[in-house]
Amino acid sequence: MLNDLKQQPADALLALIKLHNTDPRADKIDLGVGVYKTGEGETPVFAAIKAAEAKLVAEQDSKAYLGPEGDMGFVEKLMPYIFGKDSPDMGGRIEGMQTPGGTGSLRLALAMVKRAGYTRVIVGKPSWPNHNQICADLGLDVLEFNHAAADGGTDMEALRGALASAQTGDAILLHGCCHNPTGIDYTDAEWDEIALLIADSKVLPILDLAYQGLGLGMEEDAYGLRRVLVAVPEALICYSCDKNFGLYRDRVGALYAMVSDPADLARVMSNGHSLARANWSQPPDHGAAAVRLILEDEALTAQWLDELDQMRDRMRQVRAKLAAAGKTGGVDLTPVGGQNGLFSIIPFTPEQVQEMRSKHGIYFAASGRINVAGLTMGNIDQFIAAVADVTA
Ligand code: LMR
């Protein structure tokens, strides 16, 4: 029977890590999987995390189980950052639970949606490949709409059309900020409209906030999510700390549910708890505990926010330098300057993507998605020259 299993392709994004690692060239460049890198090309542990980890090792007196909801101190301390300081639980309507990374949160959210009787998820195209993959694995249908318009902005017409055609049993999955893979986010005015469209269409919004603070700022990056939440009765929010706390392999995330009547919250969340139990029982503790220790401590919080500011500033500098290159060979790098987060798509053909790898040792996704944080003032000219060469 096991012998009947078919070969599955390796995950294309994760496979890039190995491809890059095995390239012997000293001047190779990794613009693949979404991890932040410093101007020296490193992905160090945040100093605030190191300090919190030292405290954790010194102070933690037990590793006994916490339950499927994980570290609720962590879950609650994040809420003012996500939902705003004024009413972080929207008057008792929001509760969360810890999950293994943003993927764990999405897996639970989509499984809850399925259990609640939803059958279809409206997803932008392109999206992070794991969105569609989780829907497929759960047997949820996907209705795609075009995300990016020809003018470099978002394709609002396509989103309006998708929502106008929505049926009972539909949910919509939107990136809260730092759209992965395009870097093209909705403007605040567009979010204002989207919030009303979602409310009118009665689809369930699932908001994926995996990069808060890496776009325009912690508050700015939450604008769309907050705008949607005030317009609708119910929503699911998938959160990741893997990027904004640099905890990637520690898998730190949270799932929040917003319901219309606070009396329903415990019942709704009991579904998250039972699904977690059936999937991973309880989330890993270490990274979430470190985040909680940071958020419980004013000085550590200030240090973390300062480190996040530096990351964002560096990515802005890289984006500005790429944009300044303007027309490069057959492509225009200008739009990269106005995009947000770790990613942008350069319109390479599949052959050009291969040539960037084989001839220049520059690795990024087959979609043309580059991780801008992989560029430094030391290698960016090499990248621009390679783009000019393969697209000429
Ligand atoms: C990415 O898109 O590169 C990141 O979200 C990492 C991942 O798990 O795919």
Q: Which of 296, 318, 333 lies at the terminal end of a domain, its last residue?
A: 296
Pair 348, 218 in one domain: no
Does residue 187 form part of some domain?
Answer: yes
Instruction: Kindly report, residue by residue over 351-390, the tens digit of the pLDDT.
Output: 999 999 999 999 999 999 999 999 999 999 999 999 999 9
Q: Does 140 reside within a domain?
A: yes
Single-letter code of the amino acid located at 280: W
> Whose CA is closest to 76, among 277, 309, 292?
292
Q: Are residues 357 and 234 in the same domain?
A: no
* Pair 169, 220 in one domain: yes
Question: Would strands 170-175 and 204-209 be described as parallel, antiparallel, or unpaired?
Answer: parallel
Task: Please indicate, yes or no, if residue 3 is contained in any of the structural domains.
Answer: no
Q: Rounded to the nearest 10 degrees, how much is the dihedral formed by the CA atoms of 262, 109, 203, 231? A: 50
Whether 215 and 320 map to the same domain: the answer is no
Closest residue by CA, ligand 1 atom 5:
34
Give the CATH number of the domain where residue 27 resides.
3.90.1150.10
243 classed as catalytic: yes
Task: Please report the DSSP string for 78-102 in residue order.
Answer: HHHHHH-SS-TTTTTTEEEEEESHH
Counting atoms of ligand 1 from 1, which one is nearest the CA of 371? 3
Confidence (pLDDT) at 194 = 98
Count of C-beta atoms within a 10 Å radius of residue 303: 18
Contact 329, 387 (CB under 8 A): yes
From ligand 1's centre to the CA of 34, what distance in Å?
Answer: 5
Residues 319 and 371 in one domain: yes
Choose the final residue of a domain: 271, 296, 321. Answer: 296
Residue 114 lies in a domain: yes
Chain-wide mean pLDDT for the chain?
97
CATH of residue 282's domain is 3.40.640.10
User: Could you tell me if residue 5 is inside a domain?
Assistant: no
- Residue 226 counted as domain residue: yes
Both tokens of residue 288? 């979430």
In the chain, how many domains are there?
2
Which residue has its alpha carbon closest to ligand 1 atom 4? 34
Nearest partner of 151 among 334, 354, 379, 315, judged by Cα: 334
Burial 256-277 (b: 16+ CB within 10 A, else e): bbbbeeeeebeebbeebbebbe
Please check whether residues 255 and 309 belong to one and the same domain: no
pLDDT tens-digit profile of 62-81?
A: 999 999 999 999 999 999 99
Q: Please provide the distance, in angstroms rounded to a whole number, between the alpha carbons at the two ends of the chain.
A: 52
CA of 368 to the centre of ligand 1 (A): 14
78 with 32, same domain: the answer is: no
Whether 208 sits among the annotated catalytic residues: the reply is yes
In eight-state DSSP terms, residue 148 is B
pLDDT digits 0-9 by tens, 304-333: 999 999 999 999 999 999 999 999 999 999
Structure tokens at 148: 């990016």
Inter-residue contact 253 to 239 (CB < 8 Å)? yes
**Quick one: 266 and 311 in the same domain?**
no
pLDDT digits (tens, 9 = 90+) for 151-175: 999 999 999 999 999 999 999 999 9
Measuring from each residue's beta carbon to the nearest atom of ligand 1, which residues come in under 6 Å?
13, 33-34, 128, 180
Predicted confidence at residue 301, as pLDDT, reads 98
Nearest residue (CA) to ligand 1, atom 1: 34
| Position 150 confidence tier, pLDDT thresholds 50, 70, 90 | very high
Per-residue confidence (pLDDT) for residue 172, from 0 to 100: 98
Distance CA 182, CA 344 (A): 5
* 158 and 261 part of one domain: yes
Work out which ligand 1 atom sits closest to the CA atom of 365.
3
> Which pLDDT does position 159 carry in this prediction?
98
Whether 258 contacts 208, CB under 8 Å? no
Residue 127 binned pLDDT confidence (cut-offs 50, 70, 90): very high
Residue 304 annotated to the active site: no
- Determine the Cα–Cα distance for residues 255 and 116; give it in Å rounded to an integer: 16
Q: How many helices (H) and strands (E) does the chain have?
A: 13, 13
Q: What is the pLDDT of residue 312?
A: 98
Task: Give kind and range of the element (H or E) at residue 327.
Answer: strand 327-328
pLDDT of residue 7: 96
What confidence tier does 36 reach under pLDDT thresholds 50, 70, 90?
very high
Of all residues in the chain, the percent with pLDDT exceeding 90 is 98
pLDDT of amino acid 21: 95
What per-residue confidence (pLDDT) applies to 228? Answer: 98
> Could you report the per-residue pLDDT of 239-292, keeping only the tens digit for each?
999 999 999 999 999 999 999 999 999 999 999 999 999 999 999 999 999 999
Looking at residue 277, its pLDDT comes to: 97
318 lies in the same domain as 239 = no
The reply to whether 366 falls in a domain is yes
Q: What residue owns the CA closest to ligand 1's atom 2?
A: 34
Residue 356 Cα, ligand 1 centroid: separation in angstroms?
Answer: 21
Residue 8: the pLDDT is: 92
Pair (20, 79) in one structural domain: no
Whether this model's pTM surpasses 0.85: yes
pLDDT band at 2 (very low <50, low <70, confident <90, very high): very high
From the CA of 14, how far away is ligand 1's center (Å)? 8
The pLDDT, as a whole number, for residue 3 is: 96
Look up the domain containing 189 and give its range. 65-296
C-alpha 118 – ligand 1 centre gap (Å)? 26
- Taking the alpha carbons of 86, 340, 185, 211 in that order, is the dihedral positive or negative? negative
Q: Please report whether residue 237 resides in a domain.
A: yes
pLDDT tens, residue by residue, 203-229? 999 999 999 999 999 999 999 999 999
pLDDT of residue 375: 98
Catalytically annotated residue among 30, 243, 250, 285: 243
Last residue of a domain, one of 262, 296, 330: 296
